[in-house]
Amino acid sequence: MRRASEEAILPHYRKLSGDQVREKAADDVVTIADHASEELLAEGLAKLNPGIAIVGEEAAEANPAVMDRLAGACWIIDPLDGTNNFAAGKPPFGILIALAEHGEAKSGWIYDCLSGRFCAAHLGDGAFVDGERVTARATGEEPPVAAISLLFMARMQRERVKTHIAPHYRLVDIPRCAAEQYPRLALGENDVSIFERTLPWDHAAGALWLNEAGGRVARPSGLPYRVDEWREPGLVGAASPRLWDDLVARLAALADEAD
Protein backbone atom coordinates (compact mmCIF):
# COMPACT_ATOMS: atom_id res chain seq x y z
CA MET A 1 0.00 0.00 0.00
CA ARG A 2 2.87 2.35 0.79
CA ARG A 3 4.49 1.56 -2.52
CA ALA A 4 1.25 2.17 -4.42
CA SER A 5 0.90 5.51 -2.66
CA GLU A 6 4.46 6.59 -3.36
CA GLU A 7 4.72 5.32 -6.92
CA ALA A 8 1.21 5.51 -8.36
CA ILE A 9 -0.71 8.14 -6.38
CA LEU A 10 1.40 10.89 -4.85
CA PRO A 11 3.38 11.68 -8.03
CA HIS A 12 0.05 12.81 -9.55
CA TYR A 13 -1.20 14.77 -6.53
CA ARG A 14 -1.97 18.35 -7.55
CA LYS A 15 -0.38 17.61 -10.93
CA LEU A 16 -3.29 16.07 -12.85
CA SER A 17 -3.98 17.33 -16.34
CA GLY A 18 -7.47 17.44 -17.76
CA ASP A 19 -7.04 14.27 -19.79
CA GLN A 20 -6.00 12.35 -16.66
CA VAL A 21 -9.40 12.80 -14.97
CA ARG A 22 -12.60 11.20 -16.25
CA GLU A 23 -16.18 11.47 -15.01
CA LYS A 24 -17.23 7.96 -13.98
CA ALA A 25 -20.73 8.73 -12.74
CA ALA A 26 -22.72 11.67 -11.44
CA ASP A 27 -20.54 13.43 -8.85
CA ASP A 28 -17.82 10.78 -9.18
CA VAL A 29 -14.53 10.81 -11.07
CA VAL A 30 -11.63 8.47 -11.75
CA THR A 31 -8.03 9.43 -12.46
CA ILE A 32 -4.89 7.96 -13.93
CA ALA A 33 -3.72 7.41 -10.34
CA ASP A 34 -6.69 5.12 -9.55
CA HIS A 35 -5.83 2.83 -12.42
CA ALA A 36 -2.07 2.85 -11.76
CA SER A 37 -2.59 2.09 -8.07
CA GLU A 38 -5.04 -0.75 -8.73
CA GLU A 39 -2.69 -2.33 -11.25
CA LEU A 40 0.21 -2.23 -8.81
CA LEU A 41 -1.86 -3.52 -5.88
CA ALA A 42 -3.49 -6.31 -7.87
CA GLU A 43 -0.12 -7.47 -9.13
CA GLY A 44 1.33 -7.52 -5.62
CA LEU A 45 -1.65 -9.31 -4.04
CA ALA A 46 -1.68 -11.93 -6.79
CA LYS A 47 1.90 -12.78 -5.87
CA LEU A 48 0.99 -13.14 -2.18
CA ASN A 49 -1.58 -15.83 -2.95
CA PRO A 50 -2.22 -16.70 -6.60
CA GLY A 51 -5.30 -18.72 -5.65
CA ILE A 52 -7.36 -15.80 -4.35
CA ALA A 53 -9.57 -13.78 -6.71
CA ILE A 54 -9.21 -10.02 -6.91
CA VAL A 55 -12.09 -7.53 -6.89
CA GLY A 56 -10.82 -4.07 -7.75
CA GLU A 57 -13.06 -1.03 -8.01
CA GLU A 58 -11.86 -0.03 -11.46
CA ALA A 59 -11.82 -3.60 -12.78
CA ALA A 60 -15.44 -3.97 -11.62
CA GLU A 61 -16.41 -0.77 -13.42
CA ALA A 62 -14.92 -2.11 -16.64
CA ASN A 63 -16.45 -5.56 -16.18
CA PRO A 64 -19.38 -5.92 -13.73
CA ALA A 65 -18.93 -9.70 -13.74
CA VAL A 66 -15.93 -9.13 -11.46
CA MET A 67 -18.44 -8.69 -8.62
CA ASP A 68 -19.34 -12.37 -8.84
CA ARG A 69 -15.97 -13.11 -7.24
CA LEU A 70 -17.25 -11.71 -3.94
CA ALA A 71 -19.00 -15.01 -3.26
CA GLY A 72 -15.69 -16.78 -2.64
CA ALA A 73 -12.27 -15.96 -1.25
CA CYS A 74 -11.13 -12.62 -2.64
CA TRP A 75 -9.01 -9.53 -2.16
CA ILE A 76 -11.08 -6.32 -2.34
CA ILE A 77 -9.23 -3.21 -3.49
CA ASP A 78 -10.11 0.46 -3.37
CA PRO A 79 -6.96 1.79 -5.05
CA LEU A 80 -7.68 5.44 -4.32
CA ASP A 81 -10.50 6.18 -1.92
CA GLY A 82 -11.55 9.83 -1.90
CA THR A 83 -10.80 10.35 -5.59
CA ASN A 84 -12.94 13.49 -5.78
CA ASN A 85 -10.78 15.03 -3.05
CA PHE A 86 -7.59 13.87 -4.74
CA ALA A 87 -8.66 15.28 -8.11
CA ALA A 88 -9.46 18.60 -6.43
CA GLY A 89 -5.98 18.69 -4.90
CA LYS A 90 -7.08 18.32 -1.28
CA PRO A 91 -7.14 15.64 1.44
CA PRO A 92 -8.27 13.18 2.62
CA PHE A 93 -7.63 10.21 0.37
CA GLY A 94 -6.28 6.74 0.96
CA ILE A 95 -6.17 3.07 0.04
CA LEU A 96 -8.41 0.28 1.34
CA ILE A 97 -7.79 -3.44 1.04
CA ALA A 98 -9.79 -6.30 2.53
CA LEU A 99 -9.50 -10.06 2.44
CA ALA A 100 -12.91 -11.73 2.41
CA GLU A 101 -14.22 -15.27 2.30
CA HIS A 102 -17.81 -16.36 1.58
CA GLY A 103 -19.05 -12.78 1.95
CA GLU A 104 -17.34 -12.03 5.27
CA ALA A 105 -14.34 -9.75 5.65
CA LYS A 106 -11.56 -11.58 7.47
CA SER A 107 -8.86 -8.88 7.38
CA GLY A 108 -8.76 -5.21 6.48
CA TRP A 109 -6.17 -2.50 5.96
CA ILE A 110 -6.57 1.28 5.61
CA TYR A 111 -3.69 3.50 4.52
CA ASP A 112 -3.70 7.31 4.61
CA CYS A 113 -1.51 8.39 1.70
CA LEU A 114 -0.49 11.77 3.12
CA SER A 115 0.07 10.96 6.80
CA GLY A 116 1.10 7.33 6.41
CA ARG A 117 -1.38 6.27 9.10
CA PHE A 118 -1.89 2.52 8.77
CA CYS A 119 -4.96 0.82 10.24
CA ALA A 120 -5.23 -2.96 10.32
CA ALA A 121 -7.68 -5.51 11.66
CA HIS A 122 -8.15 -9.27 11.58
CA LEU A 123 -11.42 -10.91 12.55
CA GLY A 124 -11.37 -11.79 16.24
CA ASP A 125 -7.92 -10.28 16.78
CA GLY A 126 -8.61 -6.59 17.43
CA ALA A 127 -7.87 -3.34 15.59
CA PHE A 128 -4.56 -1.53 15.28
CA VAL A 129 -3.20 1.85 14.20
CA ASP A 130 0.47 1.89 13.25
CA GLY A 131 0.94 -1.37 15.12
CA GLU A 132 -0.72 -0.22 18.36
CA ARG A 133 -3.97 -1.82 19.50
CA VAL A 134 -6.83 0.71 19.66
CA THR A 135 -10.20 0.77 21.39
CA ALA A 136 -12.93 2.90 19.87
CA ARG A 137 -13.80 5.99 21.88
CA ALA A 138 -16.67 8.43 21.53
CA THR A 139 -16.18 12.18 21.34
CA GLY A 140 -17.91 12.69 24.69
CA GLU A 141 -19.84 15.61 23.22
CA GLU A 142 -23.53 16.23 23.79
CA PRO A 143 -25.25 16.11 21.41
CA PRO A 144 -23.13 13.44 19.73
CA VAL A 145 -21.23 14.27 16.56
CA ALA A 146 -22.73 12.84 13.36
CA ALA A 147 -21.25 12.62 9.88
CA ILE A 148 -24.21 11.73 7.70
CA SER A 149 -23.90 11.28 3.96
CA LEU A 150 -27.01 12.54 2.19
CA LEU A 151 -25.50 12.32 -1.30
CA PHE A 152 -27.05 9.05 -2.38
CA MET A 153 -30.32 9.16 -0.45
CA ALA A 154 -33.62 9.58 -2.25
CA ARG A 155 -35.00 13.09 -1.93
CA MET A 156 -37.79 12.23 0.52
CA GLN A 157 -35.46 10.16 2.70
CA ARG A 158 -32.93 12.97 2.69
CA GLU A 159 -35.53 15.46 3.87
CA ARG A 160 -36.80 13.15 6.63
CA VAL A 161 -33.28 12.58 7.92
CA LYS A 162 -32.56 16.31 7.90
CA THR A 163 -35.82 17.06 9.73
CA HIS A 164 -36.06 14.21 12.24
CA ILE A 165 -32.54 12.82 12.76
CA ALA A 166 -30.18 15.75 12.34
CA PRO A 167 -31.58 17.87 15.24
CA HIS A 168 -30.44 15.21 17.74
CA TYR A 169 -26.79 15.49 16.68
CA ARG A 170 -24.12 18.02 15.87
CA LEU A 171 -23.67 17.54 12.16
CA VAL A 172 -20.22 17.76 10.62
CA ASP A 173 -19.09 17.52 7.02
CA ILE A 174 -18.39 14.05 5.68
CA PRO A 175 -14.85 13.61 4.35
CA ARG A 176 -16.10 11.81 1.23
CA CYS A 177 -13.49 9.19 1.99
CA ALA A 178 -14.21 5.96 3.87
CA ALA A 179 -10.49 5.62 4.57
CA GLU A 180 -10.88 8.72 6.74
CA GLN A 181 -14.45 8.30 8.00
CA TYR A 182 -13.93 4.95 9.70
CA PRO A 183 -10.88 6.11 11.68
CA ARG A 184 -12.81 9.21 12.75
CA LEU A 185 -15.47 6.96 14.29
CA ALA A 186 -12.94 5.13 16.44
CA LEU A 187 -10.50 7.89 17.30
CA GLY A 188 -12.78 10.33 19.11
CA GLU A 189 -13.61 12.68 16.25
CA ASN A 190 -17.07 11.47 15.16
CA ASP A 191 -19.69 9.48 17.05
CA VAL A 192 -22.03 8.16 14.36
CA SER A 193 -22.31 7.96 10.61
CA ILE A 194 -24.91 6.82 8.09
CA PHE A 195 -23.89 5.40 4.73
CA GLU A 196 -26.37 4.84 1.92
CA ARG A 197 -24.18 3.10 -0.66
CA THR A 198 -22.43 0.00 0.67
CA LEU A 199 -19.95 -0.96 -2.03
CA PRO A 200 -17.43 -3.53 -0.78
CA TRP A 201 -14.28 -1.54 -1.55
CA ASP A 202 -15.63 1.35 0.52
CA HIS A 203 -16.73 -0.63 3.57
CA ALA A 204 -15.21 -4.11 3.86
CA ALA A 205 -11.98 -3.01 5.54
CA GLY A 206 -13.43 -0.13 7.56
CA ALA A 207 -16.45 -1.98 8.92
CA LEU A 208 -14.27 -4.85 10.11
CA TRP A 209 -11.72 -2.48 11.64
CA LEU A 210 -14.30 -0.44 13.57
CA ASN A 211 -16.09 -3.54 14.84
CA GLU A 212 -12.78 -5.03 15.98
CA ALA A 213 -12.01 -1.74 17.76
CA GLY A 214 -15.20 -2.10 19.82
CA GLY A 215 -17.42 0.26 17.86
CA ARG A 216 -20.29 -1.06 15.81
CA VAL A 217 -21.04 -1.22 12.10
CA ALA A 218 -24.13 -3.05 10.86
CA ARG A 219 -27.19 -2.74 8.69
CA PRO A 220 -30.02 -0.75 10.31
CA SER A 221 -31.78 -4.11 10.75
CA GLY A 222 -28.90 -5.25 12.96
CA LEU A 223 -27.59 -7.74 10.41
CA PRO A 224 -23.84 -7.72 9.83
CA TYR A 225 -22.36 -6.14 6.74
CA ARG A 226 -21.51 -8.67 4.05
CA VAL A 227 -19.41 -7.81 1.02
CA ASP A 228 -21.59 -9.92 -1.29
CA GLU A 229 -24.70 -7.93 -0.36
CA TRP A 230 -23.36 -4.69 -1.78
CA ARG A 231 -26.58 -3.92 -3.66
CA GLU A 232 -28.40 -3.47 -0.34
CA PRO A 233 -28.48 0.20 0.74
CA GLY A 234 -27.96 1.44 4.27
CA LEU A 235 -25.22 0.99 6.81
CA VAL A 236 -24.75 2.59 10.24
CA GLY A 237 -21.43 3.03 12.00
CA ALA A 238 -20.84 4.27 15.54
CA ALA A 239 -18.08 4.67 18.09
CA SER A 240 -19.94 2.43 20.55
CA PRO A 241 -22.83 -0.05 20.53
CA ARG A 242 -24.91 2.38 22.62
CA LEU A 243 -24.49 5.20 20.12
CA TRP A 244 -25.37 2.76 17.33
CA ASP A 245 -28.51 1.64 19.17
CA ASP A 246 -29.64 5.23 19.75
CA LEU A 247 -29.28 6.22 16.11
CA VAL A 248 -30.89 3.05 14.77
CA ALA A 249 -33.84 3.51 17.13
CA ARG A 250 -34.37 6.99 15.70
CA LEU A 251 -34.14 5.63 12.16
CA ALA A 252 -36.68 2.91 12.98
CA ALA A 253 -39.09 5.48 14.42
CA LEU A 254 -38.66 7.54 11.28
CA ALA A 255 -39.44 4.52 9.09
CA ASP A 256 -42.55 3.71 11.13
CA GLU A 257 -43.72 7.30 10.77
CA ALA A 258 -43.18 7.17 7.01
CA ASP A 259 -45.26 3.97 6.78
pLDDT number for residue 249: 94
Alpha-carbon gap, residue 17 to 251, rounded angstroms? 43
Longest dimension (CA), the chain: 53
Question: Residue 259: pLDDT above 70?
Answer: no
Residue 253, pLDDT above cutoff 90: no
Residue 166, pLDDT score: 85
Domains of the chain: 2-134 (3.30.540.10), 145-258 (3.40.190.80)
- The whole-number average pLDDT for the span 149-166 is 77
In single-letter form, the type of residue at position 214 comes to: G
> What tens digit of pLDDT does each residue of 21-36 get?
999 877 789 999 999 9
Confidence of residue 159 (pLDDT cuts 50, 70, 90): confident
**8 Å CB contact between 234 and 220:** yes
Global pTM?
A: 0.94
